[in-house]
């Protein structure tokens, strides 16, 4: 009996060893690091890329920020993209003091709210300004790559200083996974559940030069050492991805979003402004073909209603337009980045005007 047990254990260990060696060879041939989680793998990929380049830089349109991780480069003057001296998407500077007799509408969000791939005048923030007229001033604080956590922090640390009358947080559904990582485009802050609230971790964010130096000197290494099991990493990664796909009331990722909704509501109301949680769907959700993020959209709308937070889900408006104008897509094709098209941005601006009118503040 003991001999059989030893044989079974030995067979299991040899099988696991063979599987580990096979997976290591596979990922090495693919040029991937042996990583225990997505955040570390993203960091290793960043380090490998910059070690090869011989310098520590972010993407050409992004600059390091110790609180938010990154923000837009200041004073960009590209053919279809302009940022002001503080890095916000505008040809004009944002003055802290609100002009007399004017109201302010503030946006925070990711690349969808930023208007990635479109001209300055084609973003839904700019189109909303056009529709509101001279009585309002629209300020766009969106930054590509942000998670919901960074968007909320951007409001709390920067945008609230500009005396808004209304604040829109652009919640693109796929940002859900960004809230679970602390390294994506670059290192980023994130929230953890704590009691009934949230605890901020990862700040201050390490400067790119400092992180690059750790890898250059060998104090951190791409690959994480020989004893980092690829089998265990793969099992844990698949489990985590499975948890992300199963979004319900008990999902840790959803609990983060729910608490961020409440924190956003409280912060904006404390500033005497009107908050709106804007749900920006994927094209699959609009088509009713996404079993992962459709529940997330429904949870966001339901929870917002339960805490008295205005929430606008764009999916019904997009569906109605798609049925009436099947050839006029509200998303750009995947090869162009897949963000909202000119039509999509115009639809969002129309929906925002309808919301402001229902609230009795559009004039």
List Cβ neighbours of 221 (8 Å cut-off, separation of 6 or more).
Answer: 215
Residue 140, SS3 per DSSP: strand
More confident residue, 82 or 222: 82
* 167 and 279 share one domain: yes
For residues 108 and 229, give the distance between their C-alpha atoms in angstroms, rounded to a whole number.
Answer: 40
CA 76 from centroid of its chain's CA atoms: 22
- Examine residue 292 and state whether it is found in any structural domain, yes or no: yes
Output the domain CATH number for residue 85: 3.40.50.1110
Q: In the prediction, which pLDDT does 346 show?
A: 97
* 195 and 287 share one domain: yes
Q: In the prediction, which pLDDT does 236 show?
A: 47
Q: How many CB atoms lie within 10 A of CB 53?
A: 10
Across the range 55-74, mean pLDDT stands at: 93
* 11 and 109 share one domain: no
Q: In the prediction, which pLDDT does 281 show?
A: 95
Digit-coded pLDDT (tens) for 321-339: 999 998 888 888 888 788 9
* 73 and 27 share one domain: no
Residue-wise over 92-104: b if at least 16 C-beta within 10 A, else e? eebeeeeeeeebb
Could you tell me the pTM of the whole model? 0.87
* 141 and 283 share one domain: yes
- Examine residue 58 and state whether it is found in any structural domain, yes or no: no
Domain range for 24 is 1-31
Q: In the prediction, which pLDDT does 69 show?
A: 98
User: Is it the case that residue 224 has pLDDT exceeding 90?
Assistant: no
**How high is the mean pLDDT of the chain?**
88
More confident residue, 82 or 334: 82
Q: How many domains is the chain partitioned into structurally?
A: 2
User: Is it the case that residue 177 has pLDDT exceeding 50?
Assistant: yes
Helices (H), the chain: 2-30, 38-53, 111-114, 124-132, 148-157, 208-216, 230-245, 252-270, 283-286, 294-306, 315-324, 342-358
* 171 and 275 share one domain: yes
* 133 and 259 share one domain: yes
Q: In the prediction, which pLDDT does 283 show?
A: 87
- Examine residue 145 and state whether it is found in any structural domain, yes or no: yes
Digit-coded pLDDT (tens) for 228-277: 454 445 544 444 444 456 799 999 999 999 999 999 999 999 999 999 99
Phi, psi (degrees; rounded to nearest 5) at 169: -105, 120
Across the range 124-135, mean pLDDT stands at: 97
| Cα→Cα distances 85→57, 61, 88, 90, 134, Å | 20, 13, 8, 9, 23
pLDDT-based confidence at residue 22 (cuts at 50, 70, 90): low
- Examine residue 317 and state whether it is found in any structural domain, yes or no: yes
Q: How many CB atoms lie within 10 A of CB 227?
A: 6
* 26 and 86 share one domain: no
User: Is it the case that residue 151 has pLDDT exceeding 50?
Assistant: yes
Q: In the prediction, which pLDDT does 25 show?
A: 46
């Amino acid at each position: 009996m003991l001999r059989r047990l030893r044989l079974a254990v030995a067979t299991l260990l040899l099988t696991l060893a063979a599987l580990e060696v096979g997976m290591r060879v596979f990922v090495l041939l693919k040029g991937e690091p042996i990583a225990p989680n997505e955040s570390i793998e993203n960091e290793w990929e960043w380090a490998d890329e910059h070690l090869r380049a011989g310098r520590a830089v972010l993407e050409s349109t992004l600059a390091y920020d110790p609180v938010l991780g990154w923000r837009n480069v200041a004073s960009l003057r590209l053919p279809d993209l302009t940022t002001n001296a503080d890095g916000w998407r505008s040809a004009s500077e944002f003055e802290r003091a609100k002009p007399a007799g004017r109201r302010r509408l503030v946006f925070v969000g990711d690349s969808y709210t930023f208007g990635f791939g479109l001209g300055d005048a084609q973003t839904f923030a700019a189109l909303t300004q056009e529709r509101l007229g001279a009585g309002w001033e629209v300020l766009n604080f969106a930054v590509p790559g942000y998670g919901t956590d960074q968007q909320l922090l951007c409001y709390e640390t920067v945008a609230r200083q500009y005396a808004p009358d209304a604040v829109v947080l652009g919640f693109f559904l796929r940002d859900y996974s960004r809230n679970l990582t602390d390294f994506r485009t670059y290192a980023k802050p994130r929230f953890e559940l704590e009691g009934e609230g949230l605890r901020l971790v990862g700040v201050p964010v390490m400067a790119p030069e400092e992180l690059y130096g750790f890898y250059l000197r060998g104090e951190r290494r791409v690959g994480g050492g020989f004893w980092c099991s690829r089998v265990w990493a793969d099992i844990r990664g698949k489990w985590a991805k499975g948890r992300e796909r199963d979004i319900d009331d008990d999902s840790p990722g959803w609990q983060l979003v729910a608490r961020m909704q409440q924190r956003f509501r409280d912060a904006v109301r404390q500033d005497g402004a009107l908050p709106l949680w804007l749900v920006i769907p994927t094209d699959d959700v609009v088509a009713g073909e996404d079993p992962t993020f459709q529940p997330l959209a429904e949870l966001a709308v339901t929870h917002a209603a339960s805490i008295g937070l205005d929430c606008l889900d764009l999916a019904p408006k997009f569906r109605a337009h798609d049925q009436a104008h099947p050839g006029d897509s509200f998303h750009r094709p995947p090869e162009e980045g897949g963000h909202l098209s000119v039509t999509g941005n115009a639809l969002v601006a129309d929906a925002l005007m309808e919301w402001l009118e229902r609230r009795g503040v559009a004039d």
